[in-house]
Amino acid sequence: MKNRILLGLGLTSLFLTAGAFGAPAPQDRSAGQTAPPLLTPLFTTVPPKWEDRRSSSRMEAGQAFEASRLRQIVADLPPSASVDKVEVALFDLLPQIYRATNGDLPVVAEVVASLRRQPGAVEAMARQYRQLPAEAIERRLVVLSILGEMKRSDAMAQLHEVIWAPLPPAELQAEKLTARDLEEMIQVKAVQGLAYLATPQADAAVREVIEKHQALHVRVSAIDAYMWNHGDSPATAAELYRLLPADLHLYVERPRFQRGMDREEFTRRLRAWQEKWGSQPPPAPTSAHDDNGSVK
């Protein structure tokens, strides 16, 4: 603070000059010209209607998700295709799935359900996963999603390998998500697949993650997955309360914010959680900039 005061005094003489660098102006549509500072914007705050987007908004050939092609690739596989054959199919299949939208998910789910029957699907998917570069987080998440959703006990080894891979060290100065954060996200997806198996062996493996994994985020995500895959039952919660140290108890019965939830039930559970575990932060600073773009 002392530095700030001295600095403020020392810079008083620069005030007029500095004023020129004050509020950046909203820009007019005439690109390339900087308008003077204005308090009243010259543009509308209402965006164009989405329905009015130009009619040429369609994908170019080869870029679109093609449901029929996806189904055909899987249908063309013989009932017990070899690992190699499944892998060849995945070379076509996965790029299509990477292009899928939310609206395409039922088709993706349908294809995964079909793949699930292929004895070689787990090994083929594991091979694909190993070929992905470390920085391809989105594709690694998708492949692990499929591997988990297939709900095949022979996927346990692959999932186990991902979950227990060594994590990068915490970085000294990293305000963005670190490599460690991203790898934890990957390991969480693998834990979700493990918990989804819902077999005694898989349950034991998930409990091991909950108890021993080095990353808090992976542990608390394993708790959530374990609860969900046991119907969020009070008995499962009681089991985890016995298993876990007290500082992890707050993660056992968190409500899930999700599409299709009962909003009143979510609110009831969240309120109950807050009463039991919640703490309020100190007051936040007051907003210095109001919604009109002017400085208070």
Partner 1 sequence: MRPEANTLLRRGALSLVVALLLLPAGAGAVCPNTVETDEQALWNVHNCWPAFRDWFRPFFNLQSDHWDGSWGWATCDPTQAFPKMWDSAYLITYGLQDSSLGPWHSDVDYQRWAAGSQHDFRYEPEDACCSAYATAFNGTFVTNRVEMDCPSFKGRTAGVRAGTMLHESTHIIYGDSFGVWSHQSNLPGSNCGTEDCSDDWYFHLLNAYPYGSLAGHRHSMNQIQIEYDCDLAEFGEGWVPYTTKILAQSEANDRITNRIRNPPGWTCGQPRPLPAGSANPFTYSSGRDEYLACWGIAGRISSNCNDISDLNDKQMCFGMSTSTQSPCTSMTDRNLQLACYGMSVAPNYPSNCNDIVDAGMRDFCYSVSSWGTSGTCSGVTSPSDKALCQALTYRNSSYCASITNANDKWFCYGTASRTNSYCANIVQ
Near partner 1 in 157-176, by CB under 8 A: 170-176
Contact between 26 and partner 1 per CB under 8 A: yes
Stretch that binds partner 1, among 56-64, 83-91, 124-132, 238-246 (CB under 8 A): 56-64
Cα–Cα distance, 256 to 270 (Å, whole number): 9
Stretch that binds partner 1, among 81-89, 124-132, 237-245, 258-266 (CB under 8 A): 258-266
**Binding residue (CB under 8 A) for partner 1 from 75, 157, 165, 238:** 75
Closest contact distance (angstroms) between CB of 92 and partner 1 is 15
Nearer to partner 1, 87 or 226 (CB): 226
Q: Which residues, 6+ apart, have CB-to-CB distance to 23 below 8 Å?
A: 37, 293, 295
Closest contact distance (angstroms) between CB of 87 and partner 1 is 19
Cα–Cα distance, 181 to 204 (Å, whole number): 25
Give bridge partners of residue 295 from the DSSP assignment: 289
Closest contact distance (angstroms) between CB of 53 and partner 1 is 5
Contact between 258 and partner 1 per CB under 8 A: yes
Q: Which residues, 6+ apart, have CB-to-CB distance to 14 below 8 Å?
A: none
Cα–Cα distance, 20 to 38 (Å, whole number): 13
Tokens 């996965």, residue located: 94
Number of residues that bind partner 1 (CB under 8 A): 147
- How large is the C-alpha radius of gyration of the chain? 26
Closest contact distance (angstroms) between CB of 127 and partner 1 is 18
